[in-house]
Amino acid sequence: MTKEERQQLEAQLRRGRVLASAQRHARILLKADEGPGGPALTDDQVAEAVECGRATVERVRKRFVEDGLEAALRPRPTTRTYLRKLDGRAEAHLIALACGDPPEGHARWSLRLLADRVVALGIVEEVSYETIRRTLKKTS
């Protein structure tokens, strides 16, 4: 690691508003620094000093070597794609149901009641009340 990179990491640790993961990664890189003036600790020693797993130390060091300092400090973007439980047709049914009268014995629709009714009507196989909440919040 160069002297400039080391100074940049130390300055980042002194700043207050930095992501905790970025601070942890900066500490890992500083403890693992094998350059002049660096402590050159092993992965196990760094993991113990920074209080993280050995695999985290290995991943951060690998990203630093392959992609550079900035890539090692910021989180890796996710590649996961989430499939929607409710398509446009199901959302329309849900909104119509929520705007209608609540079931007998209830003063109003709850999220759990809506989720159960949507499943009972066969609109979707399963859905959580949280999905119902997000859908209604988005469309209200």
Listing DSSP states for 75-127 in one string gives: PPPP------SS-HHHHHHHHHHHHSPPPTT-SS--HHHHHHHHHHTTS-S--
**Residue at 121 is within a domain:** yes
Span 42-67, pLDDT tens digits? 999 999 999 999 999 999 999 999 99
**Residue at 53 is within a domain:** yes
**Residue at 83 is within a domain:** no
Containing structural domain, residue 114:
88-139
Residue 32 identity: A
Same domain? 58 vs 100: no
Span 115-138, pLDDT tens digits? 999 999 999 999 999 999 999 997
What is the number of structural domains in the chain?
A: 2
Same domain? 7 vs 65: yes
**Residue at 32 is within a domain:** yes
Same domain? 92 vs 46: no
Same domain? 103 vs 133: yes
**Residue at 80 is within a domain:** no
Final residue before a domain boundary, out of 17, 50, 73 = 73
**Residue at 11 is within a domain:** yes
Q: Is the CB of residue 97 less than 8 Å from the CB of residue 136?
A: no
Same domain? 64 vs 18: yes
Radius of gyration of the chain from Cα atoms? 25
Same domain? 118 vs 95: yes
pTM across the whole model: 0.61
Same domain? 13 vs 69: yes
Question: How confident is the prediction for the chain on average, in pLDDT?
Answer: 92
Same domain? 8 vs 69: yes
Final residue before a domain boundary, out of 15, 43, 73 = 73
| DSSP string for 87-101 | -HHHHHHHHHHHHSP
Same domain? 18 vs 50: yes
Percent of the chain scored above 90 by pLDDT?
77
